[in-house]
Amino acid sequence: MCGLDSTFWQNKRVCVTGGAGFLGSVVCRKLRNVGCRNVLVPRSCEYDLTDEQAVARMYVDFAPDIVFHLAAHVGGINANRQNPGLFFHTNLSMGLHLIEHARRNNITKFIQIGTVCSYPRNCPVPFREKSLWDGYPEETNAPYGVAKKALLTMLQAYRDQYGFNGVYVLPVNLYGPRDNMDPQASHVIPALIRKFHQATVDGESVVRCWGTGQPSREFLFVEDAADAILLTGERYDSPQPVNIGTGREIAIRDLAKMIAELVGFEGEIVWDTTMPDGQPRRTLDVTQARQHLNWHAKIDLREGLQRTIDWWANTPQPALASTV
């Protein structure tokens, strides 16, 4: 499976924060499939990761060798606009406590998941890791992006002072089955899938989408992302962040047309230009991932969208609450 070494994982105790979530559940499944006997998932009802004492207790209870910190408070443009303080505090405090107590407990390796939202708003395309500090992030998700980027600095400082083995992974926008489809908080792909699917079911002739449709984005299927993240656990030991993505972008307008086609929606797509577009372009340079991880994405966008649509079409669905 994606070149993973089963002998590396068999006797490791691996903690996956967010292990019951969208990305984390796939990472946990792949760990078990490759022979990891001890996959440890802290649940929020038992361990509030924003609480330092709860984090300290988790390390005592779990005694992990490796930590993948995937837990995050995250959402699309609308969620970021409504919760900038919450997103900043929750994401920074979780990482702050988890990294510090990983150091105190002599954890073998700590893998921090960052975000493409940390890159500067007008970063040259494709985004290269060395450009991360060349400007301020796009305003609609800057608090989230800055909080995540601060954890990169923390890991680098801890490596310099304490020899702490922490690495930082920068995935592009993820999508796939079990994604968050809540119209109040979802990212663009689940939001569009839900809207077009619902319009088809209801026999509607018009679907309204946010913005102009002109910005471009890059999307990575969750299964591919999980493979890359596990490979960083095995192979990546640099203080420098590493991008993971496909290296290919698509305009949101073209994405909407593709989803409409796959869903079977034949009506009109209307763009609400009073709503924000977000960052103009996002696509990553994935040279470092190819060189250091010997990894590349395997699932193309059309196939990944179809698999996500098929999952959603067979999922019991609550009523559509709003437009996104």
Half-sphere CA count of 143, side-chain side, radius 13 A: 21
59 as an active site residue: the answer is no
Nearest CA-CA partner of 220 in 151, 184, 171: 171
d(CA 64, CA 20): 17
Residue 280 · residue 217 · CB < 8 Å: no
Look at residues 207, 222, 322, 225 and name the one whose alpha carbon lies nearest to residue 271.
207
How would DSSP label each residue in 132-177? TTSSPBPGGGHHHHHHHHHHHHHHHHHHHHH---EEEEEE-EEE-T
Ordered alpha helix ranges (H), the chain: 6-9, 22-33, 52-62, 77-82, 84-104, 142-162, 188-202, 222-235, 252-263, 287-293, 301-313
Q: What DSSP line would sit under 178-189, residue for residue?
A: T----TTT--HH
Amino acid identity of residue 316, one-letter, is P
> Could you give the CA distance from residue 203 to residue 191 in angstroms, rounded to a whole number?
18
- DSSP code, position 215: -
Measured distance CA(68)–CA(16) in Å, rounded? 5
Catalytic residue, chosen from 47, 59, 119, 144, is 144
What is d(CA 235, CA 242) in angstroms, rounded to the nearest whole number? 12
CB-based contact 163:107 (threshold 8 Å)? no
Task: Name the token pair of 190.
Answer: 């689940």
The Cα 193–Cα 255 span in angstroms is: 10
Report d(CA 323, CA 66) in Å as an integer.
41
Just list the catalytic residues: 144
